[in-house]
Amino acid sequence: MVATIKDIAERVGVSTMTVSRVINNSGYVSMQTRKKVEAAIKALNYQPNLLARSLINRKSSFVYVIVPDISNPFYADLTKGVERVAKSASYNIILSSAYWKETLECEHIEAARGRMAEGIILVLPKISEKKIAAYAKRIPLVVVDKHIRSKSIDKVYLYQNKGAFLAVEHLITLGHRRIAFLSGESHIYNSRSRQHGYEDALSHYGIPFDPALVLKGDFSFETGERAFQQIFDMAPQKRPTAIFAASDLMALGFMRNAFRYGVRIPDDISLVGFDDILLASITNPPLTTIRHPYREMGEEAMNHLLKKLNEGFQPSDRKPLVNQLIIRETTKLFSGDEL
């Protein structure tokens, strides 16, 4: 049976008002009585009704985290970062997925407001900057993983083109010149940013851009598998000797088909991913990739939100976080013997 405030009051021999003061940390209660109430709360395993409290106080202990796709492992990592900081400040999180749809993003934001959430962490939103600014006037909000020009909107982001540049530069320094790019969907900011980095690196090192080496994907494992088939359907002299995938999931899909068809990585073709998800370090061979610090981004986003909630913190220019090249075992020097 679920314990109530009345059960605690009867156990200690005090009024329900006194128990409520201890739970809400409001009003005077002697230290001796407080300790007795806290002991009873623990003994009875009392769980406060947070929704009821929010209706009374017009405040809650909830923060909404809205991500594009809850099934992607890197958003799980980001959420862990948010949760770690939130828990330390006695906040809970509600996780919602918008599935890359503007309408769902707006619905989740309105739901957060309707449920009196304290604030929102909005990850890689599709809605316009104008809409984000309008929502930010109604509820504390932090945008993650998308560069927003407006200084009035708080954000945590990276220049992902620089991470992509590092990936392609690594392959170029190994002697590769025909480097394919497995892209994400063009309407997604991260995909465009990573392709810009790919093209910038080619240009910087004087390598002509070949549109035939840009293969359209959607960041998924399955499009990585399909990309393998596309590449090995090319004439041998036109095939790339190295691949830069805009996500680790696509890189891992490519690796799976390579294994199926006896193509050796990196002996036959070099491969670099992007994100550094957990599987990247434990696959065989371990994947060379660009680390996207999702957990740190989640932690920083929640810290920003706490400052807004506790101090009326106003957004200011901040240095973006940085990507890091993680060299493992899927790249090697170009020898001319590749497929």
pLDDT at 60: 61
pLDDT at 49: 59
The yes-or-no verdict on residue 146 having pLDDT over 80 is yes
The gap from C-alpha 157 to its chain's centroid, in whole angstroms, comes to 10
Q: Tokens in use for 177?
A: 């010149």
The yes-or-no verdict on residue 330 having pLDDT over 60 is yes
Per-position b or e across 181-217, b if 16+ CB within 10 A of its CB: bbbbeeebbbbbbbbbbbbbbbeeeebeeeeebebeb
Q: Stretch 312-326: mean pLDDT, rounded?
A: 74
pLDDT at 56: 47
Per-residue pLDDT band for 186 (boundaries 50, 70, 90) equals: confident
Q: Nearest-CA neighbor of 182 among 258, 233, 264, 248?
A: 248
148-159 residue pLDDT tens: 888 888 999 888
% of residues, the chain, pLDDT over 90: 58
pLDDT at 66: 95
**For the ranges 15-19, 119-123, 247-251, which has the lowest average pLDDT?**
15-19
pLDDT at 55: 44
The yes-or-no verdict on residue 182 having pLDDT over 50 is yes
pLDDT at 190: 86
Per DSSP, 158 falls in state B
pTM of the model: 0.73
> Which residues are within 8 A (CB) of 150 and not within 5 positions of it... i.e. 6 or more apart?
129, 132, 133
The yes-or-no verdict on residue 325 having pLDDT over 80 is yes
pLDDT at 45: 84
Per-residue pLDDT band for 267 (boundaries 50, 70, 90) equals: very high
Q: Which pairs from 207-215 meet CB under 8 Å and 24+ separation?
A: 207/172, 207/177, 207/179, 210/178, 212/238, 213/178, 213/179, 213/180, 213/181, 213/240, 214/180, 214/181, 214/183, 215/180, 215/181, 215/182, 215/183
Q: Stretch 226-253: mean pLDDT, rounded?
A: 95
The yes-or-no verdict on residue 98 having pLDDT over 90 is yes
Walk me through the domains of the chain, giving residue ranges and CATH numbers: 5-48 (1.10.260.40), 62-158+293-321 (3.40.50.2300), 160-291 (3.40.50.2300)
The residue length of the chain stands at 339
| CA–CA dist 164, 237 (Å, integer) | 25
The per-residue pLDDT of the chain, averaged, comes to 89
**For the ranges 61-65, 114-118, 203-207, 293-297, which has the lowest average pLDDT?**
114-118
pLDDT at 317: 53
Q: Stretch 229-233: mean pLDDT, rounded?
A: 94
| CA–CA dist 293, 297 (Å, integer) | 6
pLDDT at 114: 80
Count of beta carbons in the 10 Å neighbourhood of residue 263: 18
